[in-house]
């Protein structure tokens, strides 16, 4: 359901280029990330928690600089530890979540720089 809602928002924001046009890139990243994770989760249970945490930390680091990145980086290992401690994911599933969050965020920010 969230995939459908974010895709609908993305299409309408891009078509109408309204005041929330910049947010449409975030919606695009969420849509792509949800789609990729849903494909991966047909084979293994990738950590969505780590994908979101990594996407958040990466975005804040790119937008606000290295000092802020270092300040909030602890979110990723803390989330990794919690998911492993609760035995919800294997190491490979957590690494997949981190990589999906990282590459979707970098791709989204790269594409958004071409249009803005």
Could you read off the pLDDT of 52-99 as tens digits, one per residue? 999 999 988 988 899 999 999 999 999 999 999 999 999 999 999 999
User: Which structural domain range is residue 14 located in?
Assistant: 2-115
Helices (H), 2-90: 2-16, 21-40, 48-64, 66-72, 75-85
Give pLDDT, residue 25.
Answer: 76
Contact by Cβ (8 Å): 27, 14:
no
Residue 25: count of CB within 10 angstroms of its CB = 19
Give pLDDT, residue 46.
Answer: 95
What's 44's DSSP letter? S
Q: How many domains does the chain have?
A: 1
Give pLDDT, residue 89.
Answer: 95
Question: How far is it, in rounded angstroms, from Cα 111 to Cα 105?
Answer: 10
Question: What global pTM score does this model have?
Answer: 0.80
């Amino acid at each position: 359901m969230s995939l459908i809602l974010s895709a609908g928002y993305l299409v309408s924001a891009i078509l109408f280029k309204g005041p929330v046009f910049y947010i449409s890139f975030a919606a695009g990243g969420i849509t792509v990330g949800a789609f990729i994770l849903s494909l991966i989760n047909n084979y293994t249970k990738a950590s969505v928690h780590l994908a979101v945490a990594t996407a958040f930390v990466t975005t804040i680091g790119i937008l606000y600089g290295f000092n802020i990145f270092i300040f909030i980086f602890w979110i990723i290992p803390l989330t990794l530890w919690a998911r492993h401690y609760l035995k919800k994911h294997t190491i490979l599933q957590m690494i997949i979540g981190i990589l999906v969050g990282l590459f979707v965020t970098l791709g989204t920010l790269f594409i958004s720089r071409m249009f803005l």
